[in-house]
Amino acid sequence: MNTDIPYNLVPADEISRRVSRLQHRLQEKALDGALILDPVNMYYYTGTMQQGVVFVPAEGEAVFLVRRSYERALRETPLQRVVPLKGFSQLQPTLADLGLRTHVLGVAEATLSVAMFKTLAKAFPGATLTDISTLLGMVRAVKSDYEVGLIRNAGEMHEIVYDAIPAMLREGMTEWELGAEIHRKMMALGYTGIARFAGYGMELFLGIVSFGESGNYPTASIGPGGLTGLAPAFPLVGGMRKLGRGEPVFVDTGFGYEGYFTDKTRIFSLGALPEAAMQAHQVCLDIQEAIRCRLVPGAIPSRIYEEIDNQFIRPRNFGQHFMGFGSNQVPFLGHGIGLAIDEFPVIANKVHTPLEANMVIAVEPKKGLAGLGLVGVENTFRVTAQGGERLTPGSDEVTVV
């Protein structure tokens, strides 16, 4: 770490390995290189987030073309080719001067606006731009030991936060008030403040805090958890519903540590929950364990999904409102996680790419109950030969206060 920088930097060998892995994929696709503009992938391949473009050629050194801040990029990235960039019209001639081919280029269409795509097309006249969103996601899906260490640290901080939640609960408090107390605790522990998504335009602040039937409220979120939010313009965190006794307190948050996230859900209550809620929660725990045992290298996500459906969901008539109440129901059981909350792979029916060691996956079986709300669990696991290694410690049982 540089003595004039008050935080840790990504090790140079870590960046080098990431670039090499991407280059191998680019060569397989016969691409001249990749243009990377979105902040998450930029950080992954440079160790910093600036305004600019990362060009990773199929062979040779990566080039970081920076509009702002060039000085900060020099301080934070281990890449050796860092070039000031005044405008996108400079991209093609600058790379040509470096002897780099730019005839067939990969771009992450999932994170580009139409306007930016048109800008790139204009900057590289005659070039073919092809989508590599999936390719970039697959490179990031397999974590290094360095990344797993950061995710493990996030999980440890996450446990401290959830251990503190029972003391926060007060009859009559609002979802928003509980969310604010949780957020304050997280920030005090070094939480990075926002939860990032891989897809373009998606938003999440803190996570979801729902009391009772708020957990079943219709949502545009890509997860199974419902919530009201403060207003239609901010359908995030939680709303003004007040906490009563004997209803589920559903808390689903991501904790970011030096950019890497864990995802975790726990259920709390003031006083005992109805037996139907406790039984449904136990089934979710059984499903989580069955999935955890299957998180081994070579396992096929679609087969895991099918096996869980055949062995747990159908025999127990558990499908109604499983993985979300009504229209909130989602067609997956878990999702990759790392620098973003929603990474590859997904434990879903149409995902056939085998799991690999050191993939990190959040498993989240949840069940909506009419008149009661949402129960279930979520933990973050590392794929190993022995099954999923939990990176989010702590009890999965309902915590009754």
Report the pLDDT averaged over residues 339-353: 96
Those residues with Cβ within 8 angstroms of residue 136's Cβ, 6 or more apart along the chain or in another chain: 22, 34, 36, 41, 108
Question: 84-123 in b/e burial notation, b at 16+ Cβ within 10 A?
Answer: ebeebebbbebbeeeebebebbbbbeebbeeeeeebbeeb
Around Cβ 359, how many Cβ atoms within 10 Å? 25
Report the pLDDT averaged over residues 160-177: 98
pLDDT at res. 307? 98
Which CATH number is 142-400 given?
Answer: 3.90.230.10
Those residues with Cβ within 8 angstroms of residue 145's Cβ, 6 or more apart along the chain or in another chain: 358
Classify residue 180 as exposed, middle or buried by CB count within 10 Å of its CB (0-12, 13-18, 19+).
middle
Report the pLDDT averaged over residues 274-292: 98
The confidence band for 193, taking pLDDT boundaries of 50, 70 and 90, is confident
Matching fold, domains 12-140 and 142-400 = no
pLDDT at res. 1? 40
Secondary structure of 357-396 in the HEC alphabet? CCEEEEECCEEEECCCEEEECEEEEECCCCCCEECCCCCC
CA distances from 74 to 5, 81, 84, 361, 364 (A): 12, 10, 10, 33, 40
> Residue 346 and residue 142: Cα distance in Å, rounded?
13
Amino acid at 17: R
> Residue 336 and residue 363: Cα distance in Å, rounded?
9
Q: Which of 366, 167, 355, 339 is nearest to 254 (CA)?
A: 339
Q: Is the pLDDT of residue 200 over 80?
A: no
Classify residue 266 as exposed, middle or buried by CB count within 10 Å of its CB (0-12, 13-18, 19+).
buried
H helix or E strand, kind and range, residue 13: helix 12-28
What DSSP state is assigned to residue 69?
A: -
Q: For 235-279, what is each residue's pLDDT tens digit?
A: 999 999 999 999 999 999 999 999 999 999 999 999 999 999 999
Q: Is the pLDDT of residue 3 over 60?
A: no
Strand order in the sheet with 343-348: 343-348, 332-336, 360-363, 379-382, 389-390
Where exactly are the structural domains of the chain? Answer: 12-140, 142-400
pLDDT at res. 222? 83
How much is the mean pLDDT over the chain? Answer: 95
Does the structural domain 12-140 have CATH classification 3.40.350.10? yes
